[in-house]
Amino acid sequence: MLQINQMFSVQLSLGEQTWESEGSSIKKAQQAVANKALTESTLPKPVQKPPKSNVNNNPGSITPTVELNGLAMKRGEPAIYRPLDPKPFPNYRANYNFRGMYNQRYHCPMPKIFYVQLTVGNNEFFGEGKTRQAARHNAAMKALQALQNEPIPEKSQNGESGKEMDDDKDANKSEISLVFEIALKRNMPVSFEVIKESGPPHMKSFVTRVSVGEFSAEGEGNSKKLSKKRAATTVLQELKKLPPLPVVEKPKLFFKKRPKTIVKAGPEYGQGMNPISRLAQIQQAKKEKEPDYVLLSERGMPRRREFVMQ
C-alpha cells in the first residue's frame, strides 16, 4: 500500500510583494514563507528593542523593595512608601440612541493603575503599576538606579534634632492617626460624620466633616475613606498651628531596694512560652537591650500574606 505525503502550500502577501512556499504541515509552510519574506522584502525592517536593564543583581532571589531596604539601612535613611490617588480618567458613557441598535458605542473600562511615592532621605521617587505591590517595586527600582552609585552620607556627630526625629516618625503615620494623637494629648473630642452623599451608584461622592474640639473641616472624595482622609488633612493644618504643650516633669518615685533572691529555674522552664516573649525575657535577665524587629517586605494574596522580618 502506497503512502502519499500530503504537502501544504501557503501564500503570503506583504504590500505589493507576494511569496509562496510548501511544507509537510501548515505550520512548516508558514515558517518557510515567513523566512523567505524576511530575506527578500524591500520594506524597512523594524528596529529591535534593547533588552531591559535589570537593576536587581539576583533576579528571582530578592525583590527590589527588599534590596532597597538593605541599601537604605546602610545609608541610615528609611524608605517610606505612600500610596497616591490614581489619576482621573475621562468619563466615557454609552451612546443611548435607541433608534438603531447598531449605532450604539460602548467603551471598555480603562485598566486601574496604582501610584506610589517613595521617600529615601531627601530624595523622592514615583512608581506606577497594575497592582500596589508592582508600583512599590517600580519606585524601588528607580531609587536603586539613583542611589546605588551615591556615596553613603556621613552621620552628624551631634545627631538629629528632636524636631526632625518627630517629623520622621509622623511621616509613617496617616493623617487620621495624627489627628487622634494630637487630640488625645490636648484632651479634645474627635468625631467624623458623613454629611452628604450624592451622585449615581457608579460615581458616588461623599462629604465628611471632622470636628476636633473647636476646630472643624470638611473633605470630599469618591469614597468615604478618601473624604475622611481629606477632612483630616485640612484640620491637621489648623491643629499644627496651636502653641506647643508645656513640658511637665513627672515626680521621681523612690522605691526601697529589696534584697535579691536567686531563683534557680529548671531546664524545662519557659518551654511552653511564646518564642518572642521567651527571647525578651532572656535579654531582660542579661540586662541587655530587647530585640528590635524590622519588617523587610510583604507579599502574597490578602488572605495568604507572607512577611519577611529581620
Confidence tier at 160 by pLDDT (50, 70, 90): very low
Query: Residue 55: its pLDDT value, please?
Result: 45
Helix then strand then coil, in percent of the chain rounded to 5, is: 30, 20, 45
Closest alpha carbon to 59 in 157, 153, 137: 137
- If asked whether residues 78 and 144 sit together in one domain, one would say yes
- Does the residue 83 lie in any domain? yes
- Looking at the fold, whether 80 and 124 belong to one and the same domain comes out as yes
In a domain, 54, yes or no: no
Rg (CA), the chain: 32
pLDDT digit string (tens) for 33-79? Answer: 899 888 888 888 777 776 655 544 555 568 898 888 888 888 888 88
Indicate whether 247 belongs to any domain: no
Print the domain residue range for 206: 173-239
Task: Judge if 145 and 179 occupy the same domain.
Answer: no
The DSSP 8-state label assigned to residue 305 in this structure reads: -
Residues 77 and 138 in one domain: yes
In a domain, 180, yes or no: yes
Q: Is residue 145 part of a domain?
A: yes
The number of domains in the chain is 4
Establish if 244 belongs to a structural domain: no
Residue 266 lies in a domain: no
6 φψ region: left (φ > 0), alpha (ψ -120 to 50), beta (else): beta
Kindly state whether residues 75 and 142 are assigned to the same domain. Answer: yes
Q: Please answer whether residues 122 and 132 qualify as being in contact, where contact means their C-beta atoms are separated by less than 8 angstroms.
A: no
Q: What is the CATH number of the domain that holds 188?
A: 3.30.160.20
Q: For residues 184 and 207, is the Cβ–Cβ distance under 8 A? A: no
Neighbours of 67 (CB within 10 A): 21
Shared domain check, 132 and 76 = yes
Q: Are residues 68 and 141 in the same domain?
A: yes
Please state the rounded mean pLDDT for residues 265-271: 57
Shared domain check, 123 and 197: no
List, edge to edge, every strand of the sheet that includes 205-212.
190-198, 205-212, 215-221
Q: Does one domain contain both 145 and 68?
A: yes
Residues 72 and 130 placed together within one structural domain of the fold: yes
**Strand pairing partners for 217?**
210
Q: Cell triple for residue 277?
A: 516573649
Residue type, 221: G
23 vs 162: which has the higher pLDDT: 23
- Residue 245 maps to a domain: no
Give the span between the Cα atoms of 92 and 290, in whole angstroms: 57
**Across the chain, which distance is largest between two alpha carbons, in Å?**
112
Lowest mean pLDDT among 57-71, 178-192, 211-225, 252-266: 252-266
Taking only the tens place, the pLDDT of each residue in 120-151 is: 888 889 999 999 899 999 999 999 988 888 88
Looking at the structure, do residues 123 and 188 belong to the same domain, yes or no? no
Q: Are 56 and 68 in contact (CB under 8 A)?
A: no
Length of the chain: 310
Note the pTM of the prediction, 2 decimals: 0.33
Low-confidence winner among 2-6, 104-108, 173-177, 295-299 (lowest mean pLDDT): 104-108
